[in-house]
Structure 1
């Protein structure tokens, strides 16, 4: 069972501080301790309805050597499950390094965790606008997302109004206060970097140190600029895939120009859909939707094999091996949270077509499809609650360490660099891997992130970590 504690709330929305309170930790197995933190739904209305967040602690190995606590969010989904449940070896080794001198406290944002908001209907398929590209499909997709959002709102009740990162940054400060820490050490991965950016804006002087990997850029005010960074990154990813294929003996397209092979099957499917197994064909939309899965570096071998087979007349792997998994019977509330944080104002279909023409001009072979992919998350979902993107202003923030993956097409490296440049005195460390490389056990990144979070030691300017995780 989880302990529960109410946190005294902010006197004002902008400058107040959560008063310290002790968390009631309970053993929850696997060497971890669990607690629940009760916070206001709206920190601007501390006497209004409340909600809760789950936190899990893995204590430092030797209490006599402990120097503090690092608070972490591991990205979209339930971070605490990675600690309380069966731990992947990468998570075990990540904890092992930090707990030499620190307690590690992992939290789930609102709506997730051990008692998540379970929306009665799933969101529309994230790749739906990629597979079907006409206005009728856009309208149907919007209706499906709207039904998902309505179900989430009804299930969550008043708590839904607090599902944005403005509120969650204040929750993070409440965790800091409850732990008795004067300043926050923070490890943010993927979506966890959104909370880090918001925290730096609101509470920069309360940071001891902050390490961000897989940065989701929350600083672009124009949706078209945000999408352009994704499109350019994906266009470059196609060429990096080609380079990988040419130097990897096991790639079935080695020496054949893998990017041109992609162009060939797209052109073929544009004329006549490619057979893809009994009773199935692959359209250009299906090819693009599945290739978005395959462009993630760990999936490059599968993508190369799928393209080679499609050139020979069998596109079945694009329907099976590389297909996005279907959503479960219930929806995941963080899909709505992302839309409130990043796309509270959405274009109409005709407005999007103008954006898409620009994307096709700058990323004509593959990257342009990112517009449809990203909009597929949110079309039909209304904006409120909203934490719209804006330039980062974080005076008083200590040097933040930002890892930027050259093969990261999930939270694209162009956006990561754009966000990092707005932190005062930020130090960046580029690396040759993709998304979430620190958690996935790039040992070079682990060495630098641990030294920074434990001792405050920043890597030398210009430090780069080589690729350790790309297959082959």
Structure 2
């Protein structure tokens, strides 16, 4: 545990028991029109809430006011996940985001915030170099690739540190949870009503620990598990979830005549392809992209083509778009905020051997994917993963997607079990299903956020978004 983190814990205890989040002046929000139905503001916060008189930084905030203030039920504060959340509100809106806003603003203001360092142009940290390719350790699995990948990530991190300046020290969820409480106060809300999606659930977990008594309601979907101190436990959950995803891909293909592998066991087709291939790194890299449910049709076609002698789809169709010459600070934030201390290559190979024992067909490769995010980035985590301690929180709603291979369902369930009064709802879709428009989740989530009504125990929402 880092020294700053120990000091931070003491600061939090004093803050929660004796006074507001810090001795910093209560922040003010000066709203301005920023197009369509939105208002924008910048929340000024300390770079380090343990030193509230020190340097400051800005947090971008966007508000969509209630269409009927007379029926208003307060404010729902939201973070939509990794990257720039406010751009999804101010910029051209997708149909799912528009419908989500339309539903909630019937009786509530919606306020969306960006994590520090990830705001709009004048507050966005642009790192001079990109991180190593996220699939790099999957495509090449030798010692030289490990060393090269680590070197590229170290250079990326050093560039981010230089670009962000003093604000780099505040890029973790401990600080962002304090920003969230400052936003609550600036909005004039006695208690926080929060929705977090994907990485936004990490901020929710931190807020529940630090400011649980100030929480009114919290809904977490696509939950990132920040509660596993041991790397092997965290990776094993990811590996098992990916192994199950292969079987769900098989079942989907069996049910869809349009699937390129319909009429046969698609999981066995994957096994046979691996057995026949001398070079499997590209196959695994493409399959990691293709196991996301919206890409299942592409994955089935890629397997069918590869068996016929053309495996090019695994390098072209099933790949992430290039990142360009610069990088976002998001990857550095994740690594300094989240990732346990990483092993050397020899130690990782032992971890990988254990992952192959629990997820031998496909899931074991997730270890290389997750470790590749942060390999080479120095230092201990600023906000290390640890068991959740949130005894003072009200009931929290957690929804868990059986097809979620981004923030796997095993990790989400592990987090839910640690909230003393959590209500879990499982659903048959994948990542971010509430935001993407699963009608059942929308009805349950909105009833909770607007009226505090929790769904009954054992509620299940069927799949609506699978291809």
TM-score by length of 2: 0.95
Quote how far apart the aligned CAs of 1:288 are.
0.4
How do residues 68-79 of structure 1 correspond to structure 2 at under 5 angstroms? 68-79=74-85
Distance in 1 (alpha carbons) for counterparts of 2:315 and 2:252: 24
Q: 1:418 aligns with which of 411, 414, 418?
A: 414
Corresponding residue of 1:103: 109
Distance in 1 (alpha carbons) for counterparts of 2:155 and 2:111: 35
**Preserved CA contact (<8 Å) 2:117 2:171:** yes
Distance in 2 (alpha carbons) for counterparts of 1:330 and 1:384: 24
How do residues 125-144 of structure 1 correspond to structure 2 at under 5 angstroms? 125-144=133-152
**Preserved CA contact (<8 Å) 1:176 1:184:** yes
Quote how far apart the aligned CAs of 1:12 are.
4.0
Distance in 1 (alpha carbons) for counterparts of 2:256 and 2:324: 36
**Preserved CA contact (<8 Å) 2:239 2:365:** yes
Distance in 1 (alpha carbons) for counterparts of 2:66 and 2:414: 35
Distance in 2 (alpha carbons) for counterparts of 1:61 and 1:287: 50
CA offsets, 1:285-318, max 9 Å, x none? 0010011010000110110011001111111211
**Preserved CA contact (<8 Å) 2:229 2:385:** yes
Q: Secondary structure of the residue that 1:439 maps to in structure 2?
A: helix
Corresponding residue of 1:86: 92
How do residues 61-210 of structure 1 correspond to structure 2 at under 5 angstroms? 61-114=67-120, 115-210=123-218
Q: Secondary structure of the residue that 2:415 maps to in structure 1?
A: helix
After superposition, the CA RMSD in angstroms is: 1.3
**Preserved CA contact (<8 Å) 2:79 2:197:** yes
Distance in 2 (alpha carbons) for counterparts of 1:328 and 1:76: 18
Q: Secondary structure of the residue that 1:198 maps to in structure 2?
A: helix
1:45 aligns with 2:51: yes
Distance in 2 (alpha carbons) for counterparts of 1:149 and 1:344: 16
Distance in 1 (alpha carbons) for counterparts of 2:326 and 2:435: 28
Distance in 2 (alpha carbons) for counterparts of 1:244 and 1:163: 40
1:383 aligns with 2:382: no
Number of residue equivalences:
450
Greater percentage in helix: 2
Unaligned runs of 5+ in 2: 1-8
Corresponding residue of 1:36: 42
Distance in 1 (alpha carbons) for counterparts of 2:353 and 2:202: 29
CA offsets, 1:170-198, max 9 Å, x none? 00000000000000000000000000000
Q: 2:242 aligns with which of 234, 243, 261?
A: 234
How do residues 223-372 of structure 1 correspond to structure 2 at under 5 angstroms? 223-270=231-278, 283-372=279-368
Q: Secondary structure of the residue that 1:211 maps to in structure 2?
A: strand
Are the structure 2 counterparts of residues 11 and 287 from structure 1 closer, same or farther at C-alpha, using a change threshold of 3 Å? Answer: closer
Are the structure 2 counterparts of residues 158 and 261 from structure 1 closer, same or farther at C-alpha, using a change threshold of 3 Å? Answer: same
1:429 aligns with 2:425: yes
Unaligned runs of 5+ in 1: 1-9, 271-282
Q: Secondary structure of the residue that 1:355 maps to in structure 2?
A: helix
Are the structure 2 counterparts of residues 264 and 423 from structure 1 closer, same or farther at C-alpha, using a change threshold of 3 Å? Answer: same
**Preserved CA contact (<8 Å) 1:169 1:198:** yes
**Preserved CA contact (<8 Å) 2:229 2:340:** no
**Preserved CA contact (<8 Å) 2:340 2:385:** no
Are the structure 2 counterparts of residues 68 and 15 from structure 1 closer, same or farther at C-alpha, using a change threshold of 3 Å? Answer: farther
